[in-house]
C-alpha cells in the first residue's frame, strides 16, 4: 500500500512540475505575441483556453453520469460568479500582458509570483492568523524585488515591472474570489465562465483602444496556441489530476517553480540576461515564496487527509492551489 501511494505521489509531483514548467514558459509566448495588442492577444488566448476545457468537462460529466438537467444547472450556477471573477482576471492579465512589452519574461515571472505572499497577508485583513514564516517570506520577497528591479539604481524600476507589480494585487483579489466561489460551484465550469468573461472584456477593450484590433493574429498562432491550449487547457488539467494525489505542501512548493521556469524560458528563447544583483534578487524572491509556503507543525494526518480533492478550485488561470495554508481563507489557491 505504501509503495503504491508513493508511486502515485511521485507521478503527481511530476505532473505538477510539468504544469509549473508550462506556466513559466508561457511568459515567453506572451512576449512573442505582444505586438498584436495586449487585449487582442488576451481575448484570443483565454477564449481558446475556455474551449480547451470543454472536452475535459464533458468527459467528467459522463464519468459521473450527470444528466442534462444537472449539467445545465451547474452551468447556470457559474454565470454570475464567472462574470464577477472575470473582472479581476481581466485586470490582472491585462496589466501583466501590457507590462511584458516593457520588461523581461524573468522579471515578470518573479514579480507576478508575489501573489503567493500577498494572499496570506491580505488574509490578515480578513481576520486570519498569520504565521512567522509568512512575515519572513514577505521580507525576503520584498528585498528580492528591490534587487531584481532596482539594479540600475534608485528609481530604476521600469514601466513593465510596475505594471506586473500592479497586476499582483488583482491576482490576489482573483485568488480570493475564486476561493470563495469554487467551494459552491463546479470549479472547471467556473474556470470556463471566467475565461469567457475575460475574453469578452478584452475583446470590447481591444475594439475601443487598439488601432487595429484582431489583425495580425495569423502571425502569432503559435504563441496564442501555447498560451491558450497548453498553458490554460493542458496545464490546468495536469494541475487538477496532479493535486488529486499530491501532498498539498509538496504541490505548492513545486508549482512555485513557475518563476524559475519563466526566467529559464526568457534566457533560452529570448536571450535575456540579468546582472549579478538581479540573480541575487530572484534567488531571494524564490526563497521568500518557498518559506511562505512551508506548512506549520501539526499532528500527523491520516494519508487520506493529506490528499487534495480532485475538485480543487483553479488558480488563473494559469494557475496553483494549496488548501493547507492556515493563513489563507479555506480553499484559496496559492498559485
For the chain, the structural domain boundaries read 2-295
E strand segments, the chain: none
Supply the pLDDT for residue 34: 92
CA distance 323 to 330: 6
Q: Which contacts (CB < 8 Å, 24+ apart) does range 214-222 have?
A: 214/40, 214/43, 214/44, 215/36, 215/40, 216/35, 216/36, 217/36, 217/40, 217/44, 219/35, 219/36, 220/32, 220/33, 220/35, 220/36, 220/41, 222/29, 222/32
Per-position DSSP letters for 106-128, written without gaps between them: HHHHHHHTTHHHHHHHHHHHTT-
CA distance 322 to 335: 8
Cell of 171: 491576482
Q: Which residues contact 143 (CB under 8 A, 6 or more apart)?
A: 281, 284, 288
pLDDT per residue, tens digit, the chain (335 aa), is 677 777 888 898 899 899 999 999 999 999 999 999 999 999 999 999 999 999 999 999 999 999 999 999 999 999 999 999 999 999 999 999 999 999 999 999 999 888 878 877 887 777 777 778 888 888 898 898 888 877 655 456 789 999 999 999 999 898 888 878 888 899 899 999 999 999 999 999 999 999 999 999 999 999 999 999 999 889 888 887 787 787 766 777 787 788 899 999 999 999 998 888 888 988 998 898 888 777 665 544 444 444 443 333 334 434 443 333 333 433 333 34
Confirm if 215 and 36 have CB atoms less than 8 A apart: yes
Give the torsion through C-alpha atoms of 48, 103, 176, 58, to 10 deg: 10
CA distance 3 to 194: 39
Residue showing cell 488539467: 237
Supply the pLDDT for residue 249: 62
Structure letter (DSSP) for residue 230 = I
Per-position DSSP letters for 283-298, written without gaps between them: HHHHHHHHHHHPPPP-
Confirm if 97 and 41 have CB atoms less than 8 A apart: yes
Residue showing cell 480578513: 126
Supply the pLDDT for residue 322: 39
* Number of H-type helices and E-type strands within the chain: 15, 0
Helix 248-255 with 235-245: angle, nearest 10 deg: 150
Q: Which residues contact 192 (CB under 8 A, 6 or more apart)?
A: 50, 53, 54, 57, 78, 82
Supply the pLDDT for residue 124: 76
Confirm if 23 and 231 have CB atoms less than 8 A apart: yes
Amino acid at each position: 500500500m505504501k509503495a503504491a501511494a508513493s508511486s502515485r505521489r511521485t507521478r503527481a509531483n511530476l505532473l505538477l512540475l510539468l504544469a509549473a514548467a508550462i506556466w513559466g514558459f508561457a511568459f515567453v509566448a506572451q512576449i512573442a505575441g505582444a505586438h498584436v495588442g495586449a487585449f487582442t492577444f488576451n481575448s484570443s488566448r483565454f477564449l481558446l483556453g475556455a474551449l480547451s476545457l470543454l472536452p475535459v468537462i464533458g468527459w467528467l460529466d459522463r464519468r459521473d453520469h450527470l444528466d442534462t438537467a444537472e449539467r445545465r444547472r451547474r452551468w447556470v450556477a457559474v454565470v454570475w460568479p464567472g462574470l464577477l471573477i472575470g473582472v479581476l482576471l481581466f485586470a490582472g492579465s491585462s496589466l501583466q500582458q501590457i507590462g511584458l512589452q516593457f520588461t523581461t519574461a524573468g522579471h515578470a515571472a518573479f514579480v507576478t509570483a508575489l501573489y503567493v505572499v500577498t494572499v496570506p497577508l491580505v488574509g490578515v485583513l480578513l481576520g486570519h492568523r498569520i504565521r512567522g514564516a509568512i512575515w519572513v517570506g514577505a521580507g525576503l520577497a520584498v528585498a528580492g524585488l528591490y534587487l531584481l528591479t532596482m539594479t540600475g539604481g534608485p528609481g530604476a524600476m521600469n514601466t513593465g515591472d510596475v505594471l506586473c507589480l500592479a497586476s499582483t494585487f488583482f491576482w490576489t483579489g482573483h485568488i480570493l474570489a475564486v476561493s470563495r466561489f469554487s467551494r459552491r460551484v463546479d470549479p472547471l465550469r467556473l474556470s470556463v465562465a471566467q475565461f469567457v468573461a475575460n475574453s469578452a472584456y478584452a475583446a470590447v477593450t481591444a475594439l475601443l483602444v487598439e488601432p487595429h484590433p484582431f489583425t495580425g493574429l495569423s502571425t502569432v498562432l503559435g504563441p496564442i496556441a501555447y498560451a491558450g491550449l497548453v498553458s490554460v487547457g493542458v496545464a490546468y488539467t495536469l494541475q487538477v489530476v496532479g493535486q488529486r494525489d499530491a501532498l498539498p505542501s509538496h504541490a505548492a512548493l513545486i508549482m512555485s517553480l513557475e518563476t524559475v521556469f519563466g526566467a529559464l524560458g526568457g534566457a533560452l528563447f529570448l536571450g535575456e540576461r540579468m546582472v549579478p544583483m538581479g540573480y541575487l534578487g530572484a534567488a531571494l524572491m524564490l526563497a521568500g515564496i518557498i518559506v511562505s509556503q512551508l506548512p506549520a507543525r501539526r499532528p500527523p494526518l491520516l494519508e487520506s487527509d493529506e490528499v487534495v480533492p480532485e475538485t480543487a478550485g483553479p488558480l488563473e488561470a494559469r494557475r496553483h492551489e494549496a488548501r493547507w495554508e492556515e493563513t489563507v481563507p479555506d480553499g484559496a489557491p496559492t498559485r
